[in-house]
Structure 1
Amino acid sequence: MIYFETPRLIFRDWKKQDLYEFQIMNRDPEVMKYYPALLSEEETKAFYNRIITEFTDYGYGLYAVEAKDDNSFIGIIGFHRATFEASFTPCIEIGWRLKYEAWGKGYATEGAKACLKYGFDKLGFNKVYSFTSNINIPSQNVMKKIGMVKVMEFEHPKVPEGNALRRHVLYSTN
């Protein structure tokens, strides 16, 4: 099923062959440099299963994103229900992770804008959050470009103490 499109992107259900590409992407040190660790094939499969479960349980999730020019899977952009312990959770988070080859083309901004529109217009969201490590300037730039504003900084409870990625920034749509 195709949920929505932008001029260059298709947001659709996951296809079986996407899992292989997703596994490769999650083992790429460049793609994962703002995450605590690379994901093994099994960890990616478990992540994929959580994504599918969120679609079943909530009617939204991290969409498989395809580039229209060559119909290739380029990554994920979409929503996740964040439930770790924090002052702003549980909440709906918007996030993205794209193959390195898709970086620098404006896909994250284009896709995240479309996701927010879909979330507010079709899914009835009234507030969406996004967060990342405070050293992840590229993702923070996307958050700003899609109209989000910085709310606060926090220590992410799922990132080990002493890890350079533990300090996070929180952005919100309003």
Structure 2
Amino acid sequence: MIYFETERLILRGWRQEDLPRFVAMNKDERVMRYFPATLSDAETESFFLRIHDEFQRKGWGLYAVELKSTGQFIGYVGLHEIGFDAEFTPGVEIGWRLDADYHNHGYATEAAKEVLKNAGTLGLHRLYSFTAKINLPSERVMQKIGMLKVGEFEHPKLISGSPLCTHVLYRIDL
């Protein structure tokens, strides 16, 4: 099912044939550079099922992104319930993860703008986004889509003192 389209991208539901590329993407150290570790096949398959379940429960989630020009699956951009306790939870985040070969082409920004444009129709009034403070490329996407930096926090699921632990927090009211 196609949810949204942009000039260059289709944001759609996930297909079983996306799984091999999703597994490869989550094993790629370039993609997972700002995460604690790459994901195993089993971890990615579990993530894939959680994405599907969230769509079933909510009617929205992390949309598979494909290039219009080739039909190639290149990653995801979308909405996800935040899965840890913090001052800003419960809440919904907008996030993205793209295959490294498709970084620095503006795809995350283009897709995220489209998701934001439609998020208000889903009954959502505020979205958050966060990333490791050292993940400047992702933080730039947050800025480009009009989010406001509201602070920093220590991610409760990461080891204190890790270079990935301190996160920047952005928010947008819809």
Interval of TM-score (by shorter of Structure 1 and Structure 2)? over 0.9
**Per-residue deviation, 1:7:** 0.5
1:161 maps to 160
Following the alignment from structure 2 to structure 1, what is the Cα–Cα distance between the partners of residues 70 and 142?
27
What secondary structure does 2:109 align onto?
helix
**Per-residue deviation, 1:149:** 0.6
**Per-residue deviation, 1:109:** 0.5
Following the alignment from structure 1 to structure 2, what is the Cα–Cα distance between the partners of residues 94 and 113?
10
How many residue pairs get aligned? The number is 173
1:64 maps to 64
Provide, for residues 22-66 of structure 1, a one-character-per-residue CA deviation record: whole Å limited to 9, x for no partner.
Answer: 000000000000001000000000111111111111111100000
Following the alignment from structure 2 to structure 1, what is the Cα–Cα distance between the partners of residues 47 and 117?
25
**Per-residue deviation, 1:10:** 0.3
Following the alignment from structure 2 to structure 1, what is the Cα–Cα distance between the partners of residues 122 and 46?
26
Matched, 1:14 2:14: yes
1:97 maps to 97
Q: Could you tell me the TM-score, scaled by structure 1's length?
A: 0.97
Provide, for residues 105-152 of structure 1, a one-character-per-residue CA deviation record: whole Å limited to 9, x for no partner.
Answer: 1001000000101112x2121110000000000000000000001001
**Per-residue deviation, 1:162:** 2.3
Where does structure 1 differ by over 4 angstroms across 4 or more consecutive aligned residues?
Answer: none
For residues 88-167 of structure 1, the aligned pairs below 5 Å read 88-120=88-120, 122-167=121-166
Structure 2 regions of 5+ residues with no counterpart? none
**Per-residue deviation, 1:83:** 2.9
**Per-residue deviation, 1:91:** 0.5
Percent identical residues: 54
**Per-residue deviation, 1:104:** 1.0
Following the alignment from structure 1 to structure 2, what is the Cα–Cα distance between the partners of residues 85 and 123?
23
Structure 1 regions of 5+ residues with no counterpart? none
Following the alignment from structure 1 to structure 2, what is the Cα–Cα distance between the partners of residues 100 and 117?
25
Following the alignment from structure 2 to structure 1, what is the Cα–Cα distance between the partners of residues 58 and 157?
23
> RMSD value over aligned CA atoms?
0.7
What secondary structure does 1:173 align onto?
strand
Following the alignment from structure 2 to structure 1, what is the Cα–Cα distance between the partners of residues 95 and 40?
20
